[in-house]
Structure 1
Amino acid sequence: MRQKGAFSSFIIRLAIGATALSVATMIVAMAFITGFKYEIREKLFSFWGHIHITPYNVNMGTIITPDPISRNPVLEQKIKGHKEIKEMAPFAVRPAIIQANQVMEGLQLKGVDEQYHLPAGVGFKGKALSYADTAYSKQLLISQTTADRLNINIGDELKLYFLEPGTTFPRIRRMMVSGIYHTGMVEVDRDYAVCDLRLLQRINNWAPDQINGYQITVKNQALADTIARQLYDNYIEPPLSVSTMYDIFPNIFSWLQFQDVNERIILIIMAIVAIMNLAAALLILIVEQSRLIGLLKAQGMANEDMRQIFLYYAALIAGIGIILGNAIALSIAFLQKKFGFITLSESTYYMRYAPVRIYWWQPVLIDVVTLVLCILCMWLPTLYIRRIQPAKVLQFK
Structure 2
Amino acid sequence: MGFERFIAVRYLLARRKQTFISVISLISVLGVGLGVAALIVVLGVMNGFSNELRDKILGVNAHVIVGATSGGFADYEQTAETVRRVQGVTGVMPFIYSEVMCSTPHGVKGAALRGIDPERAPEVLNLGEQMVQGSLQALTEPGEYPGIILGQDLADRLGVFSGRTINLLSPSGQSSAAGFSPKIKIFRVVGVFESGMYEYDSSLAYVGLPAARDLLGFGGELVTGLEVRLADVYQAPQIGEAVLERLDPSRFYVRNWMEMNESFFSALKLEKTAMSVILVMIVLVGSFSIITTLIMLVMEKTKDIAILISMGAQAHNIRNIFMLQGTIIGFVGTGLGYALGLGVCFLLDRYQFIRLPGDVYYLDHLPVQLEWLDMGLIGVAALGLCFLATLYPARQASRLEPAEALRYE
1:198-234 C-alpha deviation (Å, 9 max, x unpaired)? 2112334445543111122334333333332333345
Q: What is the TM-score of this pair, normalised by structure 1?
A: 0.87
Partner of 1:32: 45
1:132-180 C-alpha deviation (Å, 9 max, x unpaired)? 3999982211112211211112222212222415444433332222222
Stretch moving more, 281-290 or 113-122: 113-122
Asked whether the equivalents of residues 76 and 94 of structure 2 are also in contact (C-alpha less than 8 Å), the reply is: no
Partner of 1:316: 328
Shift of 1:33: 0.7
C-alpha distance in 2 between matches for 1:220 and 1:188: 23
* Alignment pair present for 1:266 and 2:278: yes
Partner of 2:16: 3
> Could you say what secondary structure the match of 1:211 adopts?
coil
Over 3 Å counting, the alpha-carbon distance change for 1:290 and 1:82 in structure 2 is farther
C-alpha distance in 1 between matches for 2:389 and 2:127: 48
* Alignment pair present for 1:141 and 2:149: yes
Asked whether the equivalents of residues 25 and 329 of structure 1 are also in contact (C-alpha less than 8 Å), the reply is: yes
Q: Write the letter of the residue equivalent to 2:297.
A: L
C-alpha distance in 2 between matches for 1:28 and 1:359: 11
C-alpha distance in 2 between matches for 1:96 and 1:372: 58
1:28-84 C-alpha deviation (Å, 9 max, x unpaired)? 11001111111222222221122211124xxxxxxxxx6212344454345435553
* Alignment pair present for 1:67 and 2:71: yes
> Could you say what secondary structure the match of 2:67 adopts?
strand
Aligned sequence identity (%): 23
* Alignment pair present for 1:101 and 2:101: no
Shift of 1:327: 1.0
Shift of 1:27: 0.7
C-alpha distance in 2 between matches for 1:282 and 1:216: 62
- Alignment gaps of 5+ in structure 2: 1-13
Which of 353, 364, 389 is the matching residue for 2:401?
389
Partner of 1:129: 136
C-alpha distance in 1 between matches for 2:357 and 2:128: 19
Stretch moving more, 134-143 or 145-154: 134-143
> Could you say what secondary structure the match of 1:171 adopts?
strand
Which of 134, 156, 160 is the matching residue for 2:164?
156
- Alignment gaps of 5+ in structure 1: 57-65
Shift of 1:20: 1.0
C-alpha distance in 1 between matches for 2:262 and 2:145: 34
Q: Which has the larger radius of gyration?
A: 2
C-alpha distance in 2 between matches for 1:267 and 1:23: 8
Q: Write the letter of the residue equivalent to 1:126.
A: Q
Shift of 1:123: 4.8
Partner of 1:60: none
* Alignment pair present for 1:216 and 2:220: no
Partner of 2:11: none
> Could you say what secondary structure the match of 1:5 adopts?
helix
CA RMSD of aligned residues (A): 2.8
Stretch moving more, 275-284 or 114-123: 114-123
Over 3 Å counting, the alpha-carbon distance change for 1:396 and 1:90 in structure 2 is farther
Stretch moving more, 313-322 or 332-341: 313-322
Matches within 5 A, 1:168-317: 168-206=180-218, 209-233=221-245, 237-317=249-329
* Alignment coverage as a number of residue pairs: 388
* Alignment pair present for 1:361 and 2:373: yes
Over 3 Å counting, the alpha-carbon distance change for 1:103 and 1:180 in structure 2 is same
Shift of 1:337: 0.8
> Could you say what secondary structure the match of 1:216 adopts?
strand
Asked whether the equivalents of residues 294 and 393 of structure 2 are also in contact (C-alpha less than 8 Å), the reply is: yes
Asked whether the equivalents of residues 294 and 388 of structure 1 are also in contact (C-alpha less than 8 Å), the reply is: yes
Q: Write the letter of the residue equivalent to 1:128.
A: S
Over 3 Å counting, the alpha-carbon distance change for 1:236 and 1:33 in structure 2 is farther
Over 3 Å counting, the alpha-carbon distance change for 1:175 and 1:74 in structure 2 is closer
Asked whether the equivalents of residues 51 and 224 of structure 1 are also in contact (C-alpha less than 8 Å), the reply is: yes
1:85-114 C-alpha deviation (Å, 9 max, x unpaired)? 343222111222222125222222111112
Over 3 Å counting, the alpha-carbon distance change for 1:55 and 1:310 in structure 2 is same
Asked whether the equivalents of residues 154 and 202 of structure 2 are also in contact (C-alpha less than 8 Å), the reply is: yes
Over 3 Å counting, the alpha-carbon distance change for 1:270 and 1:197 in structure 2 is farther
Partner of 1:59: none
Asked whether the equivalents of residues 43 and 122 of structure 1 are also in contact (C-alpha less than 8 Å), the reply is: no
Higher helix share: 2
C-alpha distance in 2 between matches for 1:265 and 1:123: 38
Shift of 1:361: 2.5
Shift of 1:384: 1.6
Asked whether the equivalents of residues 136 and 198 of structure 1 are also in contact (C-alpha less than 8 Å), the reply is: no
C-alpha distance in 1 between matches for 2:68 and 2:21: 72
Asked whether the equivalents of residues 46 and 122 of structure 1 are also in contact (C-alpha less than 8 Å), the reply is: no
Over 3 Å counting, the alpha-carbon distance change for 1:94 and 1:171 in structure 2 is same
Over 3 Å counting, the alpha-carbon distance change for 1:307 and 1:208 in structure 2 is farther
Shift of 1:323: 1.3
Asked whether the equivalents of residues 157 and 174 of structure 1 are also in contact (C-alpha less than 8 Å), the reply is: yes
C-alpha distance in 1 between matches for 2:290 and 2:44: 25
Partner of 1:62: none
Over 3 Å counting, the alpha-carbon distance change for 1:287 and 1:344 in structure 2 is farther
